[in-house]
Amino acid sequence: MRTRLVTVLLSVIAAIMVIPGIAAADAAGGESLKGQIRAPGSSDEGVEGIDIAVSQDGDEIGTATTDTDGEWEVEVPEAGDYHVVLDQESIPDEYELLEKPAGAERDVTVQEGRPFFVVYRLVPQGEAQAEASPSESESADDEEDAAGGAEPAAEEEGVVEAPGVSEGASFGEKFIGLAVAGIIFGLIIAISSVGLSLIFGTTKMINFAHGDMVTFGAMMAMMFSSMTLFSTVHEALAGIPVLGFIANPLVLGLILAVVCGGVLGVVLERFLWRPLRGRNVALIQMFIVTIGVSLVLRHLMLAVFGERRNKYAQFRIQEMLHFGPVSITPRDLVILLVSIGVLILVASMLQFTRIGKAMRAVADNRDLAESSGIDVNRVTLYVWGLGGSLSALGGVFLGLNQTVYWQMGFHLLLLMFAGVILGGLGTAYGAMVGGLAIGLIAQLSTLWFSPQLMNAWALAIMIIVLLVRPQGILGRRERVG
């Protein structure tokens, strides 16, 4: 019965995720060229009054002038090739254009229904010859390639760029780079989906709002880390080794985001799901309610934070670290190490602590656990708190690795479900293993196939494994009938 229910619900999930994606693509129509020109050394201060002209085949399409935030945009009539020129005479005297790797004139290709972000970088007057090191890794916030722009589509599908891999790299170098990217992406999926698996194990409820809880964590960290108060505290404590690190605005933002994620999970359980269970609401009806909660959370974040993609200001440009054949940015290295540490701590908590053993007991057999004297309601509350905190942490890591935007968790949701099912429904260890496997498969598939198919191959492998082992990698076979 449970297998049939899960099959039906996943079919509904797939339909719900595909239809809004098509509608969003239609709504996003209207090709344009846009960008933001920032003051050197600043993450948010724009430079006003710089002129940009766009032409096609010698005919002028439009012009734009940067506003007070340094932003500009030129609408173009259709997809195609365009020539973009920045008027260097309009740049304020204290700045000049960094012309490497691209100059003031750019030839770009705009795809249908997508804006193209053209990136210009300014440096203080007289420093333009200090060319940026080729080992630097630009943030995906600007979404640029070597020519100055790129499409946001790849990020929307959860593509994690392989660090330090160039187009001319050998197969071995590409394999290593993609394997590292896959491990990082898989760890993010694993952290985000542990709570999803535990919630299903303890309540048998599929939480469709879990992806938006991921987005909530990333948004909270973005909001807290950009507060002036935290920047002031960091400047005051910067000289003290441990306190200086903890007082970093992003570290404080991450800690508060994890706390907020846990509070959100506890509030939802205490004031929504527990009353619904008390009224004996069926699982299918509660699943529909989770869809409603998902839509409410997602559009609240859209209304509050807007639809623009953002990047954490502390990690815009970083030099690559090289460990033999492996190249990785400090940002991704931190994500890798902290993710492994967190998963080890969660596994240790579940294995050795009283509350962890209670969580596993409730997940194995809720009725038996309750008859054994375990306070099931309290354990369920802890599970929702843990799940909310871990989803928030996964959201921060996903935002660090890619960008922060209002649908980031929603686009990750199907991969989280895939990881949970592949590893074994209801088991936290299965979610860890399944998430890591999904991330690796998705990334390594791009060695042979288009990146646009990376998620499809991950889901295909999940289906193949389930045909051989229906209970998942770490799941237990159940008797039916």
Cα 310 → chain centroid: 11
**Residue 155 backbone phi and psi in degrees, to 5:** -65, -35
Q: Note the pLDDT of residue 13.
A: 55
What pairing do the DSSP bridges indicate for beta strands 115-117 and 95-97?
unpaired
Q: What is the 3-state secondary structure (H, E, C) of 253-265?
A: HHHHHHHHHHHHH
Whose structure tokens read 């939802």? 268
Q: Which H helix or E strand runs over 75? A: strand 71-75
Which pLDDT band holds residue 395 (cuts at 50, 70, 90)? Answer: very high
CA–CA separation, 457 and 257 (whole Å)? 32
Set out the domains of the chain in order of their start, with CATH numbers.
33-132 (2.60.40.10), 167-468 (1.10.3470)
Top mean-pLDDT range of 11-15, 245-249, 309-313, 360-364: 360-364
Specify whether the backbone of 58 is left (phi greater than 0), alpha (psi in -120 to 50) or beta: left
DSSP secondary structure letters along 81-146: EEEEEE-GGGS-TTEEE--SSS-SEEEEEEPTT-EEE----EEETT-TTSPPPTTEEE-TTS---T
Query: What would the pLDDT profile of 24-70 be if each residue is shown by its tens digit?
Result: 444 444 578 888 888 887 666 788 889 999 998 888 888 999 988 88
Selection from 73, 83, 75 nearest residue 106 by Cα: 83
Mean pLDDT, the chain, whole residue set: 81
Q: Note the pLDDT of residue 128.
A: 60
CA–CA separation, 302 and 216 (whole Å)? 11
Q: Percent of the chain having pLDDT more than 90?
A: 34
Residue 54 structure tokens: 């766009």
7-11, 81-85, 329-333, 426-430: least confident range: 7-11
Query: What would the pLDDT profile of 234-273 be if each residue is shown by its tens digit?
Result: 677 777 776 766 778 888 889 999 999 999 999 999 999 9
Which pLDDT band holds residue 164 (cuts at 50, 70, 90)? Answer: low
> Taking a C-beta distance cutoff of 8 angstroms, is the pair 234, 249 a contact?
yes
